[in-house]
Structure 1
Amino acid sequence: MPFRIPKRKDKGAGYTALDGRWVDGDKERLSDDDDASESGNATPMLRRASGAREATSYPLPRRRFTRYFTLIIVLILVGLGLTLARLSALSEASLRSGLSKPPPPPPTWETFPFLKRYHGGIRTLVPRAENKPEFPDPENNTLESTVQKDQEKQTAPSEDKGFQKRDVPQGQTFNPVKQDGILECFLNEEKKSNVPQLLAYSGVPKGFPDPVMGSYDIFGLNGDVCFDRFGRLGPYGLGYSKRWGGSGAGMDGEREGADQVWGGKTEIDYREVNWAQAQQKCAQKNKNRFKPLPKARNHFFTDMPVGGPEDKPKREEKQEKKLLARQAVVIRTWQDFQYDDEDMFYLRALVNELSLQSGGEYTVHFLVHVKDNDLPIWSDDFTYQRVLNDSLPLEFRGMGTLWSERQMSLIYGGIAETNYRGLPIHGAYRSTNMPLSYFAHMHPEYDFFWHWEMDIRYTGHFYHLFDKVGKWADQQPRKGLWERNGRFYIPSEHGSWDDFKHMVRVQTEHGTAHKSGMYEKISGNDNTQVRSQPPIWGPQPPTGEGDRTETENDPQPPTTPDKDNYSWGVGEQADFITFNPLFDPHATNWILAEDVTGYNTSTGFPPRRTAIITASRLSHRLLETMHRETALMRHSMFSEMWPGSCALHHGLKAVYAPHPVYIDRRWPTSYLAAVFNNGLHGASGGARTSVFSDERQHNFLGTSWYYHAGFPGNLWKRWLGYKVDGDGGEMEEVEGEGRIRGGYFAQNCWAMGKYCNPWKMIDAPIACEYEDE
């Protein structure tokens, strides 16, 4: 059936009425007659409006939705505007009150350019006297000149014509131990297995930077030799297969000249080495070189004998022959420490270079922390020996001593439990020196104890370092010593050591205009005036009400400071040697400055000195004093503050040894000196502006000796041949890239005495991670 679809009318022939109807213009009557006749038959308007619409009408859409939509948009815009206004007001109020601050700008030192000549190879060696170090630069020692020179260097065209490959130089055996009177020691006395020797190269890599702090020359350290990784670690298992007793590491990459270290001899099979037996036989063979052994203490609190230990007899002062002091190297470790190959290199080097090569002058011990206090190691000998054996590698068994925090709470009972920062007073973090003090108390045969850690690395010879630092410290005069101890020595700014001593004396006697007064409490005095401080001379005991110390054995000055001609203390063996300044934590923002236990602090803290990083040398006299202060007087301080403060209270000789410290960027040396010695009167501590304040310790990140520095870990990995931040690695060593041709980076060589700060290799040398027990 066909459908009839009405056609839409042309809009031009009609229009839309007000009621929505479509009115067709063609149907309208044009004449009056038609209008009249139509009007008679027309339906009234009201009725027409109520009737059905014609098929040709188109109704308009309703406007209710449009109104609602518009209203909603308006409300959203108004609400958004009010919200923004409120947030703006809150932000302004927060800024005014100081609750919200914009992120701080990056530290200034991050804008300094990196130094590039730390990774020069042994093919570029030149005598140290002929070397032009990349840094420090005497002509550019200010902030402005450094930035300007870096910009010019970036825009200037390169003038480097490349590097011509040279042969690997011939290395030489390096043994700094004087063999006078020493009977040769062996790894295996029956087989007469010779101890390993290091291989060094004469000179330094071309352009190698000088240390920015500290010095080789003042100690007499040999700064004109360097070691590559094979010459330093090859004797301890690097570079040959596990089948022959090595580690299997270092078999790839640049190896030209690596076998020089063995000199045609067979590599050492470390699976057959017993270090405990070797060092015991070495010490026994050379016992006539040392002072006689005192009577050993018994463990009377566990053995429960009748009575207690007798006092040790006084040693004879006069000796026909000058005998050497025995020294212990105490390595702090813990029960579940995982020893990898790189750790084994480090430990073998310590025992060989300090004990066997010296003829028993040093004895290496492991002080093992048992973290599980419920293990019955103090009540069952079998359990003690089992835990001790499981805690050390097989070749070092027989060299360890266990300790636990529960044991320390028994020995040093009665000390107040302050729970500073939520940590126990007998814990390893706050009281590292408790087990060391007790170890010294039980081993009176040692005159000195080197407190060492598992995460220190040194590219030089350990005996050379320990011997030179110890002898230098013994020759330091007491006058001005504590004041020098509190400052970083920067040769490019301070000149010679004598010039540095004179500068410290002037700063101490006359003071300096320092802005630390702005942090002091407001008072009627003028804090901006230059106020000098009296030099430290003799013991400085605590002055709090009720504070007691044993003073009868404290050394006293022979005269007044003005009458002393830098003679008191010369030749006196140092009781405490540190490798960072002994700074005054008073008024600094060092987070642990107030970890003081057992003293009256109601009116102020006792005199304190702190050396960050516990690696140090302590005398038996100092450790025995610390032991008695803690056990009898119930005194203690944070681990890095206790030895220096105890030495200060009792007038013992403490020395900061300014060993060579390097930095990764081109710091203006004048700016560096102002940052690191920014404490009171030119010292490193004593003021809020101290570099040891928590908010300022970031300045150490690029140095080679600090507990959280990143620079030394990168250096060590590059030295081992690994790729770091896209540089180094096997490809660069073997083939070279770009202008670095012919193995320019082959076997990176560092100058003698390069320190690495505490850091820890985990599982493999390529993975670096800080270890915090």
Structure 2
Amino acid sequence: MQPFQLFSRFYPEFDHLWQIEMDTRFLGHTGKMLNAYQAFGKKEPYKQARERASWTFMPRVHGNYRKFSNGINRALQSNATTWGPPDTRIPGFKPLGPTPPVADATLDHFEWLKGEEADLLLLAPAFDPARVQTQPDWLFKNWIMGFDRSLPRLASFPAQARASRELLAAAHIGQRDLGLRLAGEATLPSFALWHGFKIVQPPIPKFTFPERDLHELNEIYNGGMPNAFHDGIARGKDPYRANALRWYSRPRTWEWGSSLVEPVWMHWRNWGPKKKRAWADVFGPVPNELPAFLRRIDGEVYAPNLMLHPHKTNGKPVGGG
């Protein structure tokens, strides 16, 4: 994360910067996809953005995004868990985020910061590291320095996001001057929360294969529907019990660890399946046949405009078809 922050300081002419890991692959037009995420984040209001960012949005379960957002608003009774910078109780800490126009979130009609750029665009749901049940579920569960464990944190993995220059500067100051330390996946989400910056998670396309029951996946990722939680924040067992659930939930096109990405890449490159069924591993078994979200037409394989993660090489793997 530090090189990301340093680049922003050395090149202040960039208002926002994307951090994309080298094992991410785009199957469509990269610029159009990132611009679509930017446009989505700009349209989102500040109110309840943090709550919405905790969810894995599933259209066939939640309906359209407006219906999904309305469900969260009803659960919160038009309030919000985050409304500007919280009291961090960190000596010397000075919030750098915007000040809410009204003291009570219920008085805002989803107008504040709507049409303004998001300071943090996440490519995966934001979760509370304190709720991770065991160290193997996330190795950096307790990796913090410079502040009390009672201070709320956020994390999101994989650590890929777009950050504003102001957010990167805030993280830089907190680390350099106050000695605050978090794991990379928690750095930008937590500093954004503490400073009261606008956090948005666009609903990026994700596919599973083999296909799972959508309502069961919703229970795993979200813990139920928005009306099940009075604070509007998702409480699915993933990632809090990631080790126990990865065999079921990880054959997905966008994950920190996935058994699905390699076979999708091989099919898309028209290399065919591996000669051996070698894709069954700790991240979940994947059948050799063409995934349902790909199409073979006139000998070519076509995919939706989506991102894959992780894929470590562009070369043809040993054992390919």
Residue of 739, 750, 754 corresponding to 2:306: 754
TM-superposition CA deviations, 1:277-311 (whole Å, max 9, x none): xxxxxxxxxxxxxxxxxxxxxxxxxxxxxxxxxxx
Match of 1:568 among 85, 97, 112: 112
Post-superposition shift, 1:623?
A: 0.5
Specify the SS of the correspondent of 1:450: strand
SS at match of 1:632: helix
Task: Give yes or no for the alignment of 1:659 onto 2:207.
Answer: no
In structure 2, the partner of 1:708 is: 257
Equivalences for residues 597-636 of structure 1 within 5 A: 597-599=145-147, 601=148, 604-636=149-181
Deviation at 1:548, TM superposition (A): 3.2
Give the whole-Å Cα distance in 2 for the aligned partners of 1:561 and 1:721. Answer: 52
Q: What runs of 5+ residues in structure 1 fail to find an aligned partner?
A: 1-432, 511-532, 728-742, 769-773
The equivalent residue for 2:280 is none
- The answer as to whether partners of 2:207 and 2:253 remain within 8 angstroms in 1 is yes
- Matching of residue 490 in structure 1 with residue 58 in structure 2: yes
Q: CA deviation at 1:616?
A: 1.0
Q: Is 1:595 matched with 2:143? A: yes
Amino acid at match of 2:33: L
Deviations 1:109-129 (A, max 9, x none): xxxxxxxxxxxxxxxxxxxxx
Q: Give structure 1 regions of 4+ aligned residues with deviation exceeding 6 angstroms.
A: none
Residue by residue over 1:9-59, the C-alpha shift from the partner in whole angstroms, topping out at 9 and shown as x without a partner, is: xxxxxxxxxxxxxxxxxxxxxxxxxxxxxxxxxxxxxxxxxxxxxxxxxxx
Within 1, Cα distance between the matches of 2:109 and 2:88?
A: 28
Instruction: Tell me the alpha carbon deviations over residues 193-221 of structure 1, each in whole angstroms, 9 at most, x when there is no partner.
Output: xxxxxxxxxxxxxxxxxxxxxxxxxxxxx
SS of aligned partner of 1:548: coil
Calculate percent identity across the aligned residue pairs: 22
Quote the offset at 1:716 in angstroms.
0.5
Q: For 1:661, what is the secondary structure of its paired residue?
A: coil
- Partners of 2:275 and 2:316 lie apart in 1 by 16
Say if 1:540 and 1:607, in contact at 8 Å, map to a contact too. Answer: no
SS in 1 for 2:299: coil
2:189 counterpart (638, 644, 658): 644
Alignment partner of 1:537 out of 83, 86, 105: 83
Is the alpha carbon distance of 1:645 and 1:588 closer, same or farther for their aligned partners in structure 2, counting shifts above 3 Å? same
Q: Which has the higher contact order (CA 8 A, sep 6+)?
A: 2
| Residue type of the alignment partner of 1:578 | L
Question: Cα–Cα, structure 1 residues 626 and 716, in superposed 2: closer, same or farther, change >3 Å?
Answer: same
- 2:316 maps to amino acid: P
Paired position in structure 2 for 1:332: none
- 1:635 to partner: Cα distance: 0.7
| CA distance in 2 between partners of 1:632 and 1:563 (Å) | 36
Question: After the TM superposition, which residues 152-301 of structure 1 pair with which residues of structure 2 at under 5 Å, given as runs?
Answer: none
SS of alignment partner, residue 577 of structure 1: strand
Q: In 2, distance between residues paired with 1:507 and 1:565? A: 16
Offset of residue 744 of structure 1: 5.7
> Partner residue of 1:477?
45
**Aligned match for 2:242, one of 688, 694, 701:** 694
Q: 2:292 is matched with which residue?
A: none
2-side partners of 1:475 and 1:447: how far apart? 18
DSSP-derived class of the 1:641 partner: helix
Provide the rounded CA distance (Å) in 2 between the counterparts of 1:623 and 1:648.
13
What TM-score does the superposition give when structure 2 sets the normalisation length? 0.83
Go from structure 1 to structure 2 and tell me whether the alpha carbon gap of 1:444 and 1:716 turns closer, same or farther (over 3 Å shift): same
Give, in whole Å, the separation in 2 of the partners of 1:451 and 1:540: 26
Inter-CA distance 684–758: structure 2 relative to 1 (3 Å threshold):
farther
Q: In the TM superposition, what are the counterparts of 1:548-559 in structure 2 within 5 Å?
A: 548-551=92-95, 553-559=96-102
The 5-angstrom pairing of residues 24-423 of structure 1 reads none
CA RMSD, Structure 1 to Structure 2 (Å) = 2.3
CA contact under 8 A between 2:80 and 2:105: conserved in structure 1?
no
CA distance in 2, matches of 1:666, 1:720: 22
Q: Distance in 2 between matches of 1:475 and 1:547?
A: 35
Counterpart residue type for residue 542 of structure 1: T
Query: Partner residue of 2:23?
Result: 455
Q: Tell me how far apart the structure 2 counterparts of residues 486 and 453 of structure 1 sit (CA, whole Å).
A: 21
Residue 720 in 1 paired to residue 269 in 2? yes
SS at match of 2:9: helix
What is the rounded CA distance, in whole Å, between the counterparts of 1:566 and 1:649 in structure 2?
Answer: 21
Alpha-carbon shift at residue 696 of structure 1 (Å): 3.8
Give the deviation of 1:463 after TM superposition. Answer: 1.1
| Residues 486 and 584 in structure 1, CA contact (< 8 A), matched pair in contact too | no
- Cα deviations by residue, 1:455-484 (Å, 9 ceiling, x for unpaired): 111111011111111011011011111110
- Measured after TM superposition, the shift of residue 614 of structure 1 is 1.4
Cα distance in 2 for residues equivalent to 1:744 and 1:619: 42
* Alpha carbons of structure 1 residues 541 and 758: separation in structure 2 relative to 1, 3 Å: farther
* Mapped pair 1:507 → 2:59: no
Measured after TM superposition, the shift of residue 683 of structure 1 is 3.8
Contact 2:131–2:240 (CA under 8 A) maintained in structure 1: no
Corresponding letter in the other structure for 2:312? K
Count residues with an aligned counterpart.
289
Q: What stretches of structure 2 of length at least 5 have no aligned partner?
A: 277-295
